[in-house]
Amino acid sequence: MLKLIFPALLSLSAALVSPSSHAADNTPPASPLAGTWSLVAADVIKPDGARAPDFGAAPQGMLQIDREGRYTLQIFRAERPRFASGDKQTGTPAEYTAAVLGSSTHFGTITVDAVAHTLTFQIDKASFPNWEGQTQTRHYELMGDELSYRVVPRPNGDVPISVWHRLR
Residue 15 is assigned to a structural domain of this protein: no
**DSSP structure string for 81-95:** PPPTTS-GGG--HHH
Report the mean per-residue pLDDT for the chain. 86
Residue 11 is assigned to a structural domain of this protein: no
Residue 44 is assigned to a structural domain of this protein: yes
Residue 3 is assigned to a structural domain of this protein: no
How many domains is the chain partitioned into structurally?
1
Residue 23 is assigned to a structural domain of this protein: no
- In whole angstroms, give the CA distance from residue 155 to residue 146: 28
- Which domain does 56 fall in, by range? 28-80+88-166
pLDDT digits (tens, 9 = 90+) for 31-45: 789 999 999 999 999
Q: Looking at the predicted structure, is the pLDDT value of residue 80 above 70? A: yes
Contact 143, 156 (CB under 8 A): no
Residue 129 is assigned to a structural domain of this protein: yes
Residue 14 is assigned to a structural domain of this protein: no
CATH code for position 75? 2.40.128.280
